[in-house]
Structure 1
């Protein structure tokens, strides 16, 4: 029994460290091992081992994503898909569409949710038509994001800057590996490491790109994620302020359509996520609230926004 207890304690400790490590990498994907160790209050060796395990076994990626507006993607939507029969084939077909950046199988009456980003409404309607044409799709409920209030993969603000081919080449490398060394970046674009560093810093400071961790391996035992659709009955500002200020909220968007606001709440336990949901329900401005638990993330690839600028 003591051995089992010790192993359970070690698992809990590893889960807590992993969750904190992912959070730190979402805040700064290029933070050094030394900086991550200092932030987490653990040894550099432990951070290195846990990061290696997350990347190798859990499918964690640290990548650069281009700001949607900078990439000309001004139409962002969230969709819930009603399905007749098994949901996985539908989710996988939606994930194949080039404009979808997030696809997940969830609990509830609409077992598939997705996000997509488009250059204009013609692209949006083409994607929606393609989804409606997938066998098994029964219903589609769509909300358009009027504004992204909070998103870990998008910078808070963007400065208007002009990119050249060297910038494009740097972003293309960072899209694959956001933690690529400055020596690797320099060799790719034929600059000195100091010049590559300055270029990357300029892109980050301008908000053109954000480098952050994405759990492409889906959900793990230390990550609970619940989506929330909110219908308002009062002013939006108090609800927006709560969503932006709450650390457990990964995504928050002002929207119109099926919902007035949409958020994703994450945590290492269901109790922590439930606490945020209950606090939302207690806000006088919240008229109704619908939730869906993410059960299997099929696609999470925000780097696709880079394609229209860098790649053919």
Structure 2
């Protein structure tokens, strides 16, 4: 089969497109999925580079998020049939087998063998491309904004890194909750597209200090006041943006985080946390019920997946380069 494969950890351009990778055979309790669409996540970049403490068996086919049709059933699989439309929940919550697309082959190939308990039935009104966007980015966003963050109507929500897969979903979820949304992005083009998604205000962080913008618009937070500043900051970038994010929150404001793409060990300033009684809420991934909720939201048209562009398997390196250069708006799809 055709596949995008890494044979060792490496930098940009290190993924090899091969036409004769062995076809998977389903073990007991597994199915083989004919992949129709996969989407890239920054976690795939980390897998390609190599992450401390995680041993990736080589060769490795990455691709955490994907959807397709069941092509073959292994022994003992029930309640599924060849031809069923499926989305993959890449986290093995039953067998403890590790993350699909990291410690076992993923969706950047024509076919992929997965445990049957990783399957999520895909309704006919949800496309393969849409489903491929959901688990990692949209599942993470839903859990962070709804389950953990509890974003409410009329709250002021500042979203950093708003133009990526997680960010564009966060914008939509905040609007569904009735919040006022302020987004940060690196270009006027991205900000314009975010406003089309419902954001009221946009800040080009390459030209403007978002802390000063918040102070000018909403006032500088005071330790004895519950107004001024913003109610919620969504920050999954970390790095140099962490302490400035704390400074924008009013007393008892919330900062939500699910990652640290710009650095996991930022400088901290505990004075803001205790002085303003700030709530720091971490959110880790998603649960199966989050994926079911997402399928209902996209199926009903309340939420839409934002896809920047599609690539073939042969152009997987190019797709990754766009992701690493942060030159995309929303998600990148790879189709066998």
Q: Tell me which of the two structures has the higher relative contact order, counting C-alpha pairs closer than 8 angstroms and 6 or more residues apart.
A: 1
TM-score (norm 1): 0.25
- Is the helix fraction higher in 1 or 2? 1
TM-score (norm 2): 0.24
- Is the strand fraction higher in 1 or 2? 1
